[in-house]
């Protein structure tokens, strides 16, 4: 039988490499009720080609939600519904770049976004980051070097809120500085903002999109983390002219929008209060799991290991003692019954490095504590 799901479970291994939600906490009943209501309310209109921009009820809800969870609400003309965050990034690459363009990527960054960028004939260049995200001074020096060579960066992809893989959350001052640099250089910032709703200690800072000059930022949102990834539903907020360019593309025009039935179903979940209930539930569960993993790492990692507890998202970044390569350690960790993604996966040039990413979203707290114990055992043996 051909597989139904992406994840592959391996017997005896707690695999913290998968950045997936726990299937046991997905809102199945809420989505089932919403789908039935949509059929009853809209009839065949729910199953035909939809509006290119996306279902009106969902766009209206997104605008209202961002008025609450962000620094400003988009106008409906600023919003485009997409088939998940990945498709949104691919669409931006298709319509906003040309072959050979220079596109900047923070380093480290979300490794699967890099795969999407590499599907296009672009010149990808890494931008250094520190504990507060992209190093703005380094970015300005890089842009100056490119200018001296007669080049300019067309686009910069980054994850400023509960970063994948590091968990970092960029400060408001740094966000403003990035927006200013992008506006000065005519560079489009592509802000991956899919973890905004999963903040565990305090509300997420304003998105860069919400504080930047118009036309500077295209922000990507998604329901994959806040409802369910199998919906394959996301959205873009951008200035109206860029949004118009997207909805006039051949893909959205020929398809009658993207996932219109799913979009109407999610709109029903959201407007009926199901989104708020689900997100509150997820925050409680993921906060407990984050704390369990952090406590296990505190108690079980040997001296020389470093980590910062993330304020949201799915991921914990760990720095190993100098001289221990996370890639070389991995088979020994798996022999001990735990797995992860080596940090080298998150850099353009894939260097040997002593960092790794752990996801705490998939497993129960007691399993995360045990995973930390097994990881500490493997590191101690390597040291």
Instruction: Say yes or no: 197 and 332 in one domain.
Output: no
Looking at residue 65, which CATH number applies to its domain?
3.40.640.10
Using the 3D structure, point to which of 216, 245, 272 is the last residue of a domain. Answer: 272
Instruction: Say yes or no: 267 and 280 in one domain.
Output: no
Strands 315-319 and 355-359: antiparallel
Using the 3D structure, point to which of 218, 240, 272 is the last residue of a domain. Answer: 272
Position 2 in a domain: no
Query: What pLDDT was estimated at residue 132?
Result: 92
Q: How long is the chain?
A: 383
Query: What pLDDT was estimated at residue 364?
Result: 98
Instruction: Say yes or no: 254 and 226 in one domain.
Output: yes
Position 6 in a domain: no
Looking at residue 291, which CATH number applies to its domain?
3.90.1150.10
Instruction: Say yes or no: 237 and 313 in one domain.
Output: no
Instruction: Say yes or no: 246 and 169 in one domain.
Output: yes
Q: How far apart are the first and last CA of the chain?
A: 44
Instruction: Say yes or no: 209 and 310 in one domain.
Output: no
Instruction: Say yes or no: 153 and 267 in one domain.
Output: yes
Position 1 in a domain: no
Strands 123-130 and 102-107: parallel
Domain that holds residue 89: 28-272
CA dihedral 285→202→104→174, nearest 10 degrees, is: -170
Instruction: Say yes or no: 319 and 192 in one domain.
Output: no
CA proximity to 285, closest of 4, 5, 27, 110: 27
Token pair 């989505």 is at which residue?
A: 31
pLDDT tens for each residue of the chain, 383 residues long: 888 889 888 999 999 999 999 999 999 999 999 999 999 999 999 999 999 999 999 999 999 999 999 999 999 999 999 999 999 999 999 999 999 999 999 999 999 999 999 999 999 999 999 999 999 999 999 999 999 999 999 999 999 999 999 999 999 999 999 999 999 999 999 999 999 999 999 999 999 999 999 999 999 999 999 999 999 999 999 999 999 999 999 998 888 899 999 999 999 999 999 999 999 999 999 999 999 999 999 999 999 999 999 999 999 999 999 999 999 999 999 999 999 999 999 999 877 799 999 999 999 999 999 999 999 999 998 87
Q: What's phi and psi for 175, nearest 5 deg?
A: -60, -45
Using the 3D structure, point to which of 272, 290, 315 is the last residue of a domain. Answer: 272
Contacts of 51 (CB under 8 A, 6+ apart): 256, 257, 260
Position 230 in a domain: yes
Instruction: Say yes or no: 343 and 371 in one domain.
Output: yes
Query: What pLDDT was estimated at residue 253?
Result: 84
Instruction: Say yes or no: 78 and 138 in one domain.
Output: yes
3-state secondary structure the chain: CCCCCCCCCCCCCEECCCCCCCHHHCCHHHHHHHHHHHHHHHHHHHHCCCCCCCCHHHHHHHHHHHHHHCCCCCCHHHEEEECHHHHHHHHHHHHHCCCCCEEEEEECCCHHHHHHHHCCCCEEEEEEEECCEECHHHHHHHHHHHHHCCCCEEEEEECCCCCCCCCCCCCHHHHHHHHHHHHHHCCEEEEECCCCCCECCCCCCCCHHHHCCCCCEEEEEECCCCCCHHHCCEEEECCHHHHHHHHCCHHHHHHCCCCHHHHHHHHHHHHCCHHHHHHHHHHHHHHHHHHHHHHHHHHHCCCCCEECCCCECCEEEEECCCCCCHHHHHHHHHHCCEECEEHHHHCCCCCCCCEEEEECCCCCHHHHHHHHHHHHHHHHHHC
Instruction: Say yes or no: 251 and 115 in one domain.
Output: yes
Query: What pLDDT was estimated at residue 40?
Result: 98
Position 256 in a domain: yes
Position 191 in a domain: yes
Instruction: Say yes or no: 131 and 240 in one domain.
Output: yes
Position 7 in a domain: no
Total domain count, the chain = 2
Give the separation between CA 72 and CA 377, rounded to whole angstroms.
47
């Amino acid at each position: 039988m051909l597989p139904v799901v992406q994840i592959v479970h391996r017997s005896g291994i707690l695999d913290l490499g998968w950045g997936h939600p726990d299937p046991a906490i997905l809102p199945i009943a809420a989505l089932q009720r919403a789908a039935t209501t949509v059929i009853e309310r809209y009839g065949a209109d729910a199953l035909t080609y939809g509006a290119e921009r996306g279902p009106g009820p969902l766009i209206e809800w997104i605008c209202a939600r961002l008025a609450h969870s962000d620094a400003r609400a988009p106008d409906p003309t600023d919003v485009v519904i997409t088939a998940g965050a990945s498709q949104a990034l691919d669409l931006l690459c298709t319509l906003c770049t040309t072959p050979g363009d220079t596109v900047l990527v923070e380093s480290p960054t979300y490794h699967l976004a890099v795969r999407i960028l590499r599907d296009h004939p672009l010149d990808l260049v890494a931008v250094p980051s520190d504990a507060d995200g992209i190093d703005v001074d380094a970015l300005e020096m890089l842009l100056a070097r490119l200018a001296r060579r007669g080049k300019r960066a067309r686009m910069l992809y980054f994850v400023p809120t509960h970063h994948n893989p590091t968990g970092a959350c960029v400060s408001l001052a740094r966000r403003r500085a990035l927006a200013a640099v992008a506006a000065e250089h005519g560079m489009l910032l592509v802000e991956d903002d899919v973890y905004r709703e999963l903040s565990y200690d305090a509300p997420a800072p304003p998105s860069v999109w919400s504080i930047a000059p118009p036309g500077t930022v295209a922000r990507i949102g998604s329901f994959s983390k806040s409802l369910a990834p199998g919906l394959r539903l996301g959205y873009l907020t951008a200035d109206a002219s860029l949004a118009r360019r997207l909805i006039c593309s051949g893909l959205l025009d020929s398809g009658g929008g993207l996932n219109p039935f799913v979009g109407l179903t999610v709109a029903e979940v959201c407007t009926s209060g199901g989104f708020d209930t689900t997100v509150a539930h997820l925050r409680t569960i993921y906060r407990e799991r984050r704390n369990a993993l952090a406590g296990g790492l505190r108690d079980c990692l040997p001296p020389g290991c470093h980590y910062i507890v993330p304020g949201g998202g799915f991921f914990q970044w760990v720095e190993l003692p100098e001289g221990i390569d996370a890639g070389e350690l991995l088979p020994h960790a798996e022999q001990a019954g735990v797995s992860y993604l080596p940090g080298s996966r998150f850099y353009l040039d894939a260097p040997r490095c002593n960092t790794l990413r752990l996801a705490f979203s998939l497993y129960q707290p007691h399993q995360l504590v045990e995973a930390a114990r097994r990881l500490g055992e493997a590191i101690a043996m390597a040291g």
